[in-house]
């Protein structure tokens, strides 16, 4: 079981998006029932550790940074995107937050507490190297410099 949990943990880390039980089963090449049992154990493992990461199972399974550790995200990131159900709900640079006098945690809470707006477009930089999907998630974003290889 430990090896299966480790493989599932690797899948969640590498994909960086919410996955269904069926998707996880396909990636690790095991039956969904086995994966579900391993996932429940993995969720309990992360809960008991009280570490910086958690496995969230709302709208699929995802490995993410716990809200109380957003200060680390601030130190490592220059651009923050919050995505829910495959739609970019907000995008901001840390410099913009500083100019507004808002912390990352305040910004995050404001966005997650706001109701979903299906047709609310959020503009984003086309040079984003990565876009996440399916889940509220904060991720370091690197932007490509124009003309750089």
Mark 61-78 as b/e (b = at least 16 C-beta within 10 Å): bbbbeeeeebeebbeebe
Are 138 and 97 within one domain?
yes
Q: How many Cβ atoms sit within 10 Å of the Cβ of residue 122?
A: 14
Question: What are 88-141's pLDDT values in tens digits?
Answer: 778 888 888 889 998 887 887 887 777 765 434 344 433 333 333 333 444 444
Q: What is the pTM of this model?
A: 0.57
Q: What's the CA angle centered on 101, arms 141 and 135, to 5 degrees?
A: 35
Out of 50, 65, 80, pick the residue that ends a domain. 65
Exposed/middle/buried for 12, CB within 10 Å: 0-12, 13-18, 19+?
buried
Mark whether 42 and 73 lie in a shared domain.
Answer: no
Q: Give residue 124's pLDDT.
A: 41
Q: Same domain for 75 and 13?
A: no
Provide the pLDDT for residue 86.
54
Q: Check residue 120 and give its pLDDT.
A: 44
Task: State the total domains in the chain.
Answer: 2
Task: Say if residue 122 is in the same domain as residue 137.
Answer: yes
CATH number at residue 12: 1.10.10.10
**Residue 25 lies in domain:** 2-65
Query: Given this model, what pLDDT does residue 42 score?
Result: 94
Together in a domain, 41 and 53: yes
Instruction: Specify whether 145 is located in the same domain as 73.
Output: yes
**Is-contact 1 41, C-beta < 8 A?**
yes
pLDDT tens per residue, range 2-49: 999 999 999 998 887 889 999 999 999 999 999 999 999 999 999 898
Whether residues 76 and 13 share a domain: the answer is no
Q: Which residues contact 118 (CB under 8 A, 6 or more apart)?
A: none
């Amino acid at each position: 079981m430990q090896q299966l949990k480790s493989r599932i943990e690797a899948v969640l880390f590498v994909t960086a998006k919410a996955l269904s039980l069926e998707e996880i089963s396909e990636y690790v090449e095991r039956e969904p029932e086995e994966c579900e049992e391993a996932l429940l154990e993995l969720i309990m493992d992360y809960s008991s550790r009280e570490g910086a990461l958690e496995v969230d199972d709302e709208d699929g399974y995802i490995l993410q940074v716990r809200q109380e550790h957003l200060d680390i995200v601030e130190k490592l990131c220059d651009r923050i995107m919050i995505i829910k159900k495959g739609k970019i709900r907000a995008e901001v640079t840390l410099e913009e937050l500083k100019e507004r006098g808002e912390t990352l945690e305040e910004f995050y809470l404001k966005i997650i507490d706001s109701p979903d707006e299906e047709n609310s477009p959020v503009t984003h930089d086309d040079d984003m190297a990565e876009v996440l999907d399916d889940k509220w998630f904060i991720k370091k974003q690197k932007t490509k410099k124009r003309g750089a290889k």
